[in-house]
Structure 1
Amino acid sequence: MRMVQAITSLGAYTAGQWGLVTAAQAKGAGVDSVTLLRLVDAGLLVRVRHGVYQLAVSEESAHLAEKAAWLALRPAVAGWVRPKLDPDGGVVSHRSAALLQGLGDLVSERIEITVPRRRATRDSEVKLRGRPLDEDEVTRVDGLPVTTVERTVIDLLNDRVDASHMGQIIHEANRRDRLDLDVLAEKVGCFSRRYGVTGRDGHALIEHLLSAVQDGRARAR
């Protein structure tokens, strides 16, 4: 297949997937592996991660690594036809979800994705979390399924992320009207003792986490 024809064939995917296409999708579009490599060698495609490529002339897209990792979970299926709760796919979660939502400043060495059932990956840059999610625990950020702010906070508390980081995330989310603290308090009381708060008082836990942010700012001054 000629390269111009191949790029045209891949356009059906790249136009709806942030300029990305998987090797499996390329094969389904009639672009064989030899032609795919020729497109890379010619600088028309850029390898983003194993089995996922970006059209070199596509517009810049934020969080490209997370998008490529999500596509790779179900590489033969177009991203735009996948439901939010894809039984064969996943949802960006935990630290990666906080990053996509622009909350806090957590750093994660791996892209975290929650999948509905336990499965393995050979990608050392991806961490899969096996856990079923409900429809109302998932939203979309730039077309990518991501856990809601509330679900993200709960997941991070369960991971024992330190109080100052949690306080910052909760503070920012509340300030932007993206989190109802009263509703959150009803769901996080079980984490109180982990953070040195007696009982199972969700409101007391939230106050403790927010105070950790204030104390940190005071020390910084």
Structure 2
Amino acid sequence: MRPFDGFAVAGATAAYLHGIGDFHPDPYEIAAPRRFNSRMGEVRFPIAHLSDEDVAWKSGIPVMRVEATLAALAKRDEEGSLVAGTFVDAVRKYGGTEMDVRILRERLGEDCYADLLRAAGIAPLGSLELVETDAAGHVALIEKKEAQ
């Protein structure tokens, strides 16, 4: 594996590679540490200053970690229900292993994080409950039982 050079698959393309959400990876997004000119019309290069901690390697390709991907999607005015669905997928797929919800909460800020939980049906009035499973920020979703 080569060292991280600041370029990584980002946004909807990263979500697609992680197998979360219903985003289409077209145009492809590759985060760049500085302005980057390319003749490839099907690729966008948004500027993002990523560190090694922001990146996971998949098949030798640097991809924004799940938390960084979710934060980027939430902050760029994507459709709220798509981001919420992507969050639920991420918790179900990576919540107990690779995803640290504390990092996501810090990146989004408390208000944006609370909005994401509400949109995903996780807030106190929603049908899902987000439960932290350990001190490493891992989480799981459980269905709330209806009052009888």
Q: When the two structures are superposed, what TM-score results if normalisation uses the length of structure 2?
A: 0.72
In structure 2, the partner of 1:40 is: none
Conserved? CA contact 1:92–1:145, under 8 Å:
yes
Determine if the alignment matches structure 1 residue 135 to structure 2 residue 52. yes
Counterpart code for 1:121 = S
In structure 1, the partner of 2:77 is: 160
Q: What percentage of residue pairs aligned between the two structures are identical?
A: 30
In structure 2, the partner of 1:86 is: 5
For residues 183-210 of structure 1, the C-alpha deviation after alignment (integer angstroms, 9 at most, x for no partner) is 4223212xxxxxxxxxx52442232221
User: Which structure dedicates a bigger proportion of its chain to helix?
Assistant: 1
Determine if the alignment matches structure 1 residue 208 to structure 2 residue 118. yes
Runs of 4+ deviating beyond 4 Å: none
Bigger RCO of structures 1 and 2 (CA < 8 A, at least 6 apart):
2
Aligned length: 121
Give secondary structure in 1 for the equivalent of 2:77: coil
For residues 41-94 of structure 1, the C-alpha deviation after alignment (integer angstroms, 9 at most, x for no partner) is xxxxxxxxxxxxxxxxxxxxxxxxxxxxxxxxxxxxxxx5x31x215xx21111
Counterpart code for 1:211 = G
Give secondary structure in 2 for the equivalent of 1:140: strand
In structure 2, the partner of 1:107 is: 24
In structure 2, the partner of 1:75 is: none
**Higher Cα radius of gyration:** 1
Determine if the alignment matches structure 1 residue 187 to structure 2 residue 107. yes
Give secondary structure in 1 for the equivalent of 2:49: coil
Conserved? CA contact 2:13–2:26, under 8 Å:
no
In structure 1, the partner of 2:33 is: 116
Conserved? CA contact 1:184–1:202, under 8 Å:
no
Conserved? CA contact 1:150–1:179, under 8 Å:
yes
Conserved? CA contact 2:15–2:69, under 8 Å:
yes
Conserved? CA contact 1:185–1:206, under 8 Å:
no
Conserved? CA contact 1:95–1:156, under 8 Å:
yes
Q: 2:121, 2:67 → 1: CA distance? A: 19
Q: C-alpha root-mean-square deviation of aligned residues, in Å?
A: 2.1
Q: 1:147, 1:180 → 2: CA distance? A: 14
Conserved? CA contact 2:22–2:82, under 8 Å:
yes
Give secondary structure in 2 for the equivalent of 1:108: coil
Q: 1:106, 1:203 → 2: CA distance? A: 20
Q: 1:95 aligns with which of 2, 7, 12?
A: 12
Q: When the two structures are superposed, what TM-score results if normalisation uses the length of structure 1?
A: 0.50
Conserved? CA contact 1:97–1:146, under 8 Å:
yes
